[in-house]
């Protein structure tokens, strides 16, 4: 029922969904962010032949600006390509990968010379709103924003963790071409601890510091976050240790 309503609303608003494979990225001094592009899951299909396999990569930063394009080619079905994302020294966002010739999940790694952590991307979609819908979003979103609210088109729930030596931040990805005003409500032990509203540029991203959502001196270990956005978005968790964002990080997918 809800799905049918959503489809009808998308048709009414002229929204198109483009199938897209995306992965998050983070660049920090001393941290190497490398994609592993591969086609290994095609090994037992006819798609394994005909390499090298083109896999164009487009890298968007937090403002939604394209900061790099890579004409990547996966050599063979069994030989992966490691693609360092080194166009910017510091930042975050997401990359899209043209997977028309690839049949595999792709990995993003964060590490240094000693070790790395890894997660995988998502084969979902990005939404494109026509000009008049973008104008409506901008006008209504600005009004709602005055009251700290957003248009509640999409909702996601996520637990995050905060401790003296570790925490999980949230990397919010705006998978649309409109400004996405994402409202975050944090609840710990049944009580709301914080509310905030982030306006994320089209195709942009925001790194949400979990410490800003937990009251100072709180003993809460687990926060329940509720995100509401006016357009399609997704998120990854960013694990941080004692040195927080200045130390080694992990990226972690959610369902």
Partner 1 sequence: MSSSSALCSATFVDPGYDHLVELVHQRDRVGHRRLESLELELYEPGGASLGRTAVDTRQDTLDLAALVAARAPGVARVMVTFDARYDSRVFPYRPHHYAYLKLRDSPDPPLYYAVNATLGGVPDRIEAATRQNNFETYIFLSRPAGERYGLRLGNLARFSSVEAQVITYHGEARAVLPVTLAPHEHADVQLPLEREGARLRRVELKTLFRLASYVTGRRADSGGLVLFDHLFTYFK
Tell me which residues touch partner 1 (CB under 8 A): 34, 36, 38, 40-41, 43-44, 78, 80, 82, 103-105, 107, 109, 111-120, 155-159, 161, 163, 165-168, 221-222, 224, 237, 239-243, 247-250, 252-255
| Cβ proximity to partner 1, 38 vs 177, nearer residue | 38
| Cβ proximity to partner 1, 138 vs 222, nearer residue | 222
| Cβ proximity to partner 1, 5 vs 131, nearer residue | 5
Q: Considering only CA atoms, which of 255, 246, 234 is closest in space to residue 182?
A: 234
The tokens of 23 are what? Answer: 């992965």
Residue 207 contacts residue 62 (beta carbons within 8 Å): yes
> Which residues does residue 157 pair with via DSSP β-bridges, in sequence order?
226
How big is the chain, counted in residues? 255
CA gap 62, 53 in Å, rounded: 29
Nearest distance in Å: CB 111, partner 1: 6
The tokens of 232 are what? Answer: 């399609």
| Cβ proximity to partner 1, 112 vs 132, nearer residue | 112
Nearest distance in Å: CB 65, partner 1: 27
Q: How wide is the angle at C-alpha 102 spanned by C-alphas 73 and 60, nearest 5°?
A: 70
Residue located via tokens 């937090």: 62
Nearest distance in Å: CB 174, partner 1: 19
Nearest distance in Å: CB 71, partner 1: 21
Alpha helices in the chain (DSSP H): 2-13, 131-146
Nearest distance in Å: CB 159, partner 1: 5
| Cβ proximity to partner 1, 16 vs 158, nearer residue | 158
Residue 241 contacts residue 248 (beta carbons within 8 Å): yes
The DSSP line for 132-157 is HHHHHHHHHHHHHHHTT----SEEEE
Nearest distance in Å: CB 61, partner 1: 22
| Cβ proximity to partner 1, 178 vs 238, nearer residue | 238
CA gap 206, 118 in Å, rounded: 20
Residue 84 contacts residue 5 (beta carbons within 8 Å): no
Nearest distance in Å: CB 227, partner 1: 10
| Cβ proximity to partner 1, 17 vs 253, nearer residue | 253
The DSSP line for 49-93 is SS-SEEEEEEEE-TTS-EEEEEEEEE-SSS--EEEE--S-SSEEE
């Amino acid at each position: 029922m809800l799905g049918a309503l959503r489809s009808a609303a998308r048709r009414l608003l002229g929204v198109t969904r483009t199938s897209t494979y995306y992965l998050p990225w983070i660049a920090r001094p001393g941290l190497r962010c490398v994609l592993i592009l591969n086609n290994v899951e095609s090994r037992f299909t006819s798609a394994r032949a005909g390499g090298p396999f083109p896999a164009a990569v487009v890298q968007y930063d937090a403002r939604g600006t394209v900061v790099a394009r890579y004409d990547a080619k996966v050599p063979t079905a069994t030989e992966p390509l490691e693609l360092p994302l080194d166009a910017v020294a510091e930042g975050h966002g997401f990359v899209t990968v043209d997977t028309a010739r690839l049949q595999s999940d792709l990995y993003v790694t964060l590490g240094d010379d000693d070790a790395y952590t890894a997660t995988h991307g998502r084969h979902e979609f990005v939404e494109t709103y026509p000009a008049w819908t973008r104008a409506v979003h901008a006008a209504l979103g600005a009004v709602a924003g005055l009251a700290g609210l957003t248009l509640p088109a999409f909702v996601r729930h996520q637990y995050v963790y905060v401790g003296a030596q570790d925490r999980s931040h949230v990397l919010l990805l705006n998978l649309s071409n409109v400004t996405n005003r994402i409202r975050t409500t944090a609840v710990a032990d049944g009580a709301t601890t914080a509310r905030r509203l982030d306006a994320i540029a089209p195709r942009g991203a925001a790194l949400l510091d979990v410490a800003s959502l937990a009251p100072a001196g709180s003993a809460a270990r687990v926060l329940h976050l509720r995100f509401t956005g006016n357009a399609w978005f997704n998120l990854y968790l960013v694990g941080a240790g004692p040195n927080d964002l200045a130390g080694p990080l992990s990226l972690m997918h959610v369902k």
